[in-house]
Protein backbone atom coordinates (compact mmCIF):
# COMPACT_ATOMS: atom_id res chain seq x y z
CA UNK A 1 0.00 0.00 0.00
CA UNK A 2 1.31 3.42 -0.92
CA UNK A 3 2.37 5.32 2.17
CA UNK A 4 2.84 9.04 2.67
CA UNK A 5 5.61 10.04 5.02
CA UNK A 6 4.03 11.13 8.31
CA UNK A 7 7.25 11.95 10.14
CA UNK A 8 6.55 14.89 12.47
CA UNK A 9 8.03 18.22 11.39
CA UNK A 10 6.88 20.50 14.15
CA UNK A 11 5.04 20.60 17.47
CA UNK A 12 6.03 19.49 20.95
CA UNK A 13 5.78 16.23 22.87
CA UNK A 14 2.59 15.91 24.92
CA UNK A 15 2.63 16.81 28.59
CA UNK A 16 0.38 13.87 29.41
CA UNK A 17 1.86 10.94 31.26
CA UNK A 18 0.50 8.47 28.74
CA UNK A 19 2.99 6.75 26.45
CA UNK A 20 3.64 8.48 23.14
CA UNK A 21 2.45 5.53 21.08
CA UNK A 22 -0.72 5.32 23.17
CA UNK A 23 -1.43 9.00 22.50
CA UNK A 24 -0.90 8.51 18.78
CA UNK A 25 -3.22 5.50 18.78
CA UNK A 26 -5.87 7.48 20.68
CA UNK A 27 -5.65 10.30 18.14
CA UNK A 28 -6.05 7.86 15.25
CA UNK A 29 -9.01 6.18 16.94
CA UNK A 30 -10.69 9.52 17.58
CA UNK A 31 -10.02 10.54 13.99
CA UNK A 32 -11.54 7.30 12.75
CA UNK A 33 -14.72 7.96 14.71
CA UNK A 34 -14.97 11.52 13.45
CA UNK A 35 -14.14 10.81 9.81
CA UNK A 36 -16.48 7.84 9.65
CA UNK A 37 -19.39 9.92 10.89
CA UNK A 38 -18.80 13.30 9.22
CA UNK A 39 -16.19 12.76 6.49
CA UNK A 40 -12.76 14.33 6.04
CA UNK A 41 -13.66 17.76 4.72
CA UNK A 42 -16.08 18.51 7.56
CA UNK A 43 -13.86 17.11 10.31
CA UNK A 44 -11.85 19.77 12.06
CA UNK A 45 -8.70 18.86 13.97
CA UNK A 46 -9.89 20.91 16.95
CA UNK A 47 -12.95 18.68 17.42
CA UNK A 48 -10.82 15.54 17.39
CA UNK A 49 -8.30 17.00 19.84
CA UNK A 50 -11.00 18.20 22.23
CA UNK A 51 -12.46 14.70 22.45
CA UNK A 52 -9.16 13.19 23.61
CA UNK A 53 -7.74 16.15 25.50
CA UNK A 54 -4.59 16.60 23.41
CA UNK A 55 -3.33 20.15 22.62
CA UNK A 56 -2.78 21.13 19.01
CA UNK A 57 0.95 21.53 19.51
CA UNK A 58 1.19 17.91 20.60
CA UNK A 59 -0.87 16.83 17.60
CA UNK A 60 1.80 18.22 15.28
CA UNK A 61 4.41 16.27 17.22
CA UNK A 62 2.86 13.14 15.70
CA UNK A 63 1.51 14.37 12.37
CA UNK A 64 2.93 17.01 10.05
CA UNK A 65 -0.51 17.98 8.68
CA UNK A 66 -4.18 17.05 8.51
CA UNK A 67 -3.38 15.18 5.30
CA UNK A 68 -0.73 13.08 7.06
CA UNK A 69 -3.18 12.42 9.89
CA UNK A 70 -5.89 11.39 7.45
CA UNK A 71 -3.47 9.01 5.73
CA UNK A 72 -2.63 7.37 9.05
CA UNK A 73 -6.33 6.98 9.89
CA UNK A 74 -7.08 5.48 6.46
CA UNK A 75 -4.22 2.99 6.67
CA UNK A 76 -5.18 1.98 10.20
CA UNK A 77 -8.78 1.38 9.16
CA UNK A 78 -7.73 -0.52 6.02
CA UNK A 79 -5.47 -2.86 8.00
CA UNK A 80 -8.17 -3.65 10.54
CA UNK A 81 -10.82 -4.12 7.84
CA UNK A 82 -8.59 -6.50 5.86
CA UNK A 83 -7.92 -8.53 8.99
CA UNK A 84 -11.67 -8.89 9.59
CA UNK A 85 -12.32 -9.70 5.93
CA UNK A 86 -9.59 -12.36 5.89
CA UNK A 87 -11.02 -13.88 9.04
CA UNK A 88 -14.44 -14.21 7.45
CA UNK A 89 -13.36 -15.39 4.00
CA UNK A 90 -10.97 -18.01 5.35
CA UNK A 91 -13.51 -19.63 7.70
CA UNK A 92 -13.49 -23.27 6.64
CA UNK A 93 -16.62 -24.06 8.64
CA UNK A 94 -18.59 -22.88 5.59
CA UNK A 95 -18.25 -23.62 1.87
CA UNK A 96 -16.19 -20.92 0.17
CA UNK A 97 -19.19 -19.60 -1.75
CA UNK A 98 -21.07 -18.92 1.50
CA UNK A 99 -18.26 -17.34 3.56
CA UNK A 100 -19.22 -13.84 2.51
CA UNK A 101 -22.29 -14.26 4.71
CA UNK A 102 -20.03 -14.10 7.79
CA UNK A 103 -18.72 -10.72 6.68
CA UNK A 104 -22.26 -9.47 6.04
CA UNK A 105 -23.43 -10.60 9.48
CA UNK A 106 -20.47 -8.86 11.12
CA UNK A 107 -21.15 -5.66 9.17
CA UNK A 108 -24.79 -5.69 10.22
CA UNK A 109 -23.82 -6.02 13.86
CA UNK A 110 -21.23 -3.25 13.54
CA UNK A 111 -23.64 -0.76 11.99
CA UNK A 112 -26.32 -1.50 14.58
CA UNK A 113 -23.77 -1.08 17.39
CA UNK A 114 -23.21 2.54 16.38
CA UNK A 115 -26.87 3.24 15.60
CA UNK A 116 -26.18 3.43 11.85
CA UNK A 117 -24.17 6.65 12.25
CA UNK A 118 -21.00 5.06 10.89
CA UNK A 119 -20.51 3.31 7.61
CA UNK A 120 -17.39 2.35 5.70
CA UNK A 121 -14.64 4.95 6.03
CA UNK A 122 -13.17 4.10 2.62
CA UNK A 123 -16.57 4.30 0.95
CA UNK A 124 -17.38 7.57 2.71
CA UNK A 125 -14.14 9.15 1.58
CA UNK A 126 -14.65 7.87 -1.93
CA UNK A 127 -17.88 9.86 -2.11
CA UNK A 128 -16.10 13.12 -1.24
CA UNK A 129 -12.94 12.41 -3.23
CA UNK A 130 -13.06 15.77 -5.06
CA UNK A 131 -12.73 17.52 -1.69
CA UNK A 132 -9.82 15.39 -0.50
CA UNK A 133 -6.06 15.80 -0.91
CA UNK A 134 -5.07 14.32 -4.27
CA UNK A 135 -2.81 11.82 -2.49
CA UNK A 136 -5.89 10.10 -1.08
CA UNK A 137 -7.27 9.05 -4.48
CA UNK A 138 -4.65 6.37 -5.34
CA UNK A 139 -4.59 5.22 -1.71
CA UNK A 140 -8.36 4.65 -1.59
CA UNK A 141 -8.30 2.97 -4.99
CA UNK A 142 -5.54 0.62 -3.88
CA UNK A 143 -7.49 -0.34 -0.75
CA UNK A 144 -10.61 -1.17 -2.77
CA UNK A 145 -8.51 -3.29 -5.13
CA UNK A 146 -7.01 -5.20 -2.18
CA UNK A 147 -10.52 -6.03 -0.94
CA UNK A 148 -11.57 -7.11 -4.41
CA UNK A 149 -8.52 -9.35 -4.73
CA UNK A 150 -9.27 -11.05 -1.41
CA UNK A 151 -12.87 -11.75 -2.37
CA UNK A 152 -11.79 -12.93 -5.83
CA UNK A 153 -9.51 -15.49 -4.17
CA UNK A 154 -12.43 -16.80 -2.12
CA UNK A 155 -14.61 -17.04 -5.22
CA UNK A 156 -11.81 -18.86 -7.02
CA UNK A 157 -11.75 -21.37 -4.19
CA UNK A 158 -15.50 -21.83 -4.64
CA UNK A 159 -14.85 -22.33 -8.33
CA UNK A 160 -12.19 -24.96 -7.57
CA UNK A 161 -14.61 -26.73 -5.22
CA UNK A 162 -17.30 -26.87 -7.90
CA UNK A 163 -19.63 -24.39 -6.18
CA UNK A 164 -19.22 -21.70 -8.82
CA UNK A 165 -19.23 -22.01 -12.59
CA UNK A 166 -15.78 -22.38 -14.15
CA UNK A 167 -16.84 -19.76 -16.67
CA UNK A 168 -17.35 -17.16 -13.94
CA UNK A 169 -15.06 -14.11 -13.94
CA UNK A 170 -14.14 -14.04 -10.24
CA UNK A 171 -12.29 -10.73 -10.46
CA UNK A 172 -15.26 -8.99 -12.04
CA UNK A 173 -17.70 -10.59 -9.59
CA UNK A 174 -15.57 -9.35 -6.70
CA UNK A 175 -15.47 -5.83 -8.12
CA UNK A 176 -19.24 -5.80 -8.59
CA UNK A 177 -19.76 -6.87 -4.99
CA UNK A 178 -17.79 -3.96 -3.53
CA UNK A 179 -19.39 -1.41 -5.84
CA UNK A 180 -22.85 -2.57 -4.78
CA UNK A 181 -21.92 -3.11 -1.14
CA UNK A 182 -20.87 0.50 -0.61
CA UNK A 183 -24.23 1.62 -1.95
CA UNK A 184 -26.00 -0.76 0.41
CA UNK A 185 -24.02 0.63 3.36
CA UNK A 186 -25.03 4.18 2.43
CA UNK A 187 -28.69 3.15 2.21
CA UNK A 188 -28.47 1.36 5.56
CA UNK A 189 -27.23 4.58 7.17
CA UNK A 190 -30.05 6.53 5.53
CA UNK A 191 -32.88 4.26 6.64
CA UNK A 192 -31.20 3.22 9.91
CA UNK A 193 -31.69 -0.46 9.17
CA UNK A 194 -29.52 -3.39 8.12
CA UNK A 195 -32.14 -4.58 5.64
CA UNK A 196 -30.34 -3.00 2.63
CA UNK A 197 -27.23 -5.00 3.52
CA UNK A 198 -29.14 -8.26 3.65
CA UNK A 199 -31.12 -7.47 0.51
CA UNK A 200 -27.98 -6.73 -1.47
CA UNK A 201 -26.22 -9.88 -0.26
CA UNK A 202 -29.23 -12.04 -1.13
CA UNK A 203 -29.44 -10.45 -4.58
CA UNK A 204 -25.71 -10.90 -5.15
CA UNK A 205 -25.73 -14.54 -4.08
CA UNK A 206 -28.75 -15.32 -6.26
CA UNK A 207 -26.96 -13.88 -9.27
CA UNK A 208 -23.74 -15.87 -8.92
CA UNK A 209 -23.28 -18.31 -11.83
CA UNK A 210 -23.32 -21.66 -10.07
CA UNK A 211 -22.93 -25.17 -11.41
Q: CA 181 to CA 183: how far, in whole Å?
A: 5
Q: Which segment of 80-84, 132-136, 184-188 scores lowest on mean pLDDT?
A: 132-136
- Model confidence at 1, pLDDT cuts 50, 70, 90, reads very low
Q: Calculate the average pLDDT of the chain.
A: 88
The pLDDT value given to residue 23: 84
Q: CA 166 to CA 156: how far, in whole Å?
A: 9
> Does the pLDDT of residue 9 top 90, yes or no?
no
The pLDDT value given to residue 48: 85
Q: What is the pLDDT of residues 21-70, one digit of tens each?
A: 688 888 999 889 888 887 787 777 888 888 888 888 888 888 988 899 99
3-state secondary structure (DSSP) of residue 100:
helix
Q: Does pTM top 0.75 for this prediction?
A: yes
Which is more confidently placed, 14 or 83? 83
Q: Within 10 Å of residue 40's Cβ, how many Cβ atoms?
A: 23
Average pLDDT over residues 153-172: 96
> Does the pLDDT of residue 160 top 60, yes or no?
yes
The pLDDT value given to residue 82: 95
H or E stretch covering 193: none
Q: Does residue 40 contact residue 131 with C-beta atoms inside 8 Å? A: yes
**pLDDT exceeding 90 applies to what percent of the chain?**
61
Q: What is the pLDDT of residues 83-136, one digit of tens each?
A: 999 999 999 999 999 999 999 999 999 999 999 988 889 988 888 888 888 999
Amino acid sequence: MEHINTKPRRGRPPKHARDNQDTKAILIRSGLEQLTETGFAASGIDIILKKVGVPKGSFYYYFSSKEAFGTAVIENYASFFMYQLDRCLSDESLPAIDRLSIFVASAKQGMAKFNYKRGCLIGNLGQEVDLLPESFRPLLTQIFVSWQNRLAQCLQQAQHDGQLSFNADCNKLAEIFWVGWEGAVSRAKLVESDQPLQDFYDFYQAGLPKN
